[in-house]
Amino acid sequence: GAVVSQHPSRVICKSGTSVKIECRSLDFQATTMFWYRQFPKKSLMLMATSNEGSKATYEQGVEKDKFLINHASLTLSTLTVTSAHPEDSSFYICSASGWPTGELFFGEGSRLTVL
Amino acid sequence: QKEVEQNSGPLSVPEGAIASLNCTYSDRGSQSFFWYRQYSGKSPELIMSIYSNGDKEDGRFTAQLNKASQYVSLLIRDSQPSDSATYLCAVIVGKSTFGDGTTLTVKP
C-alpha cells in the first residue's frame, strides 16, 4: 500500500506556542489529504480536508484560525496548531486518499501534549 | 441515525475462534467499504477493502458486503492475541466516514 509519513510523532509544548505537524505522501501524489483528531478510546474525528493549491475545507465546529492547514504541494500537507492550550492535547492523524478506489492511507500520527 | 454504525463491543473471543465484526451504513449511494485495524496508541491500518456484493477473503480475514441490507462485516478466523485491537469500518460517499469502532480482545 501507499506510504504516508507524519512528523513529529510526539511533541510537547508550552501553552501559547504554535506547533506544526507535517504529512507527506512518499510514493504517490495526493491531491487530497485529511486531518483527524482522536481522543483516547474514541473514534477518529475528521477535522478538515486539505486540497492541494486551495483552501482547506473544515468540518463544522473546527476553528479555522486555530488549526491552520496548508497543502502547498502534491506530497505535503501541514497542520499548525496555533496558540496551543492544554485542551488541544490529542492524537492528530493525517491521511491521503488513494485513487481511484478512495482508500485512506494513514500517517503514523502525532501525539501533542500541551503543558 | 449515525452514517456508519458498528457493534458497540467490546468483543472478546478465545484464541482460535472466529471473531465477527458488523457494520451498517445509511447512504445507499456508498460504493467503497473498508476495514481498518487500530492498535492502542497507533494510527489505523487498512486490512480489507470491498466494493461489490459478496465475500472477499484475504488470509484469515473475510469481508462480506450486502448493499441491499446496507451491511458490511469482517470475519477473523483462527483469532490470535495479536488481533486484539479496535476495528474501524469506513464507508466512502465523497469522503470517508468512520464508525466508532469495535474493540476486539482475543484471549489466549
* Ordered mean pLDDT values, 10 residues apiece, chain B (108 residues): 84 97 93 93 93 96 96 97 96 83 95
pLDDT value, residue A1: 62
In the numeric block, the cell 509544548 is attached to: A13
Q: Does B42 touch chain A (CB under 8 A)?
A: yes
Closest CA in chain B for residue A107: B43
Task: Dig out the grid coordinates for B89 from the structure.
Answer: 469500518
Distance from CA of B45 to the nearest CA of A (A): 7
Which of A34, A101, A109 lies closest to B42 in CB terms?
A109
pLDDT value, residue B26: 92
- Do B42 and A109 touch, CB atoms closer than 8 A? yes
In the numeric block, the cell 483516547 is attached to: A40
* A residues 61-80 closer than 8 Å to B (CB): none
Q: What is the pLDDT along chain A (115 residues), one digit of tens a residue?
A: 668 999 999 999 999 999 999 999 887 777 789 999 999 888 889 999 988 888 899 999 999 999 999 988 888 999 999 999 999 999 999 998 877 777 888 999 999 999 9
Q: Which of A86, A78, A95, A91 is nearest to A30 (CA)?
A: A95
Question: For residue A112, which phi and psi values (nearest 5 degrees)?
Answer: -105, 130
| β-strand partners of B21 | B74
pLDDT value, residue B44: 94
Task: Dig out the grid coordinates for A111 from the structure.
Answer: 501525539
In the numeric block, the cell 476553528 is attached to: A63
Which of B42, B95, B99 lies closest to A43 in CB terms?
B99
Residues 6+ apart with CB under 8 A from B107: B12, B13, B14, B15, B81
Q: Please judge whether A103 and B46 are an interchain contact, meaning their C-beta atoms are less than 8 angstroms apart.
A: yes
Q: Which of A98, A93, A83, A88 is nearest to A36 (CA)?
A: A93
Q: How many pairs of residues across A and B have Cβ atoms under 8 Å apart?
A: 47
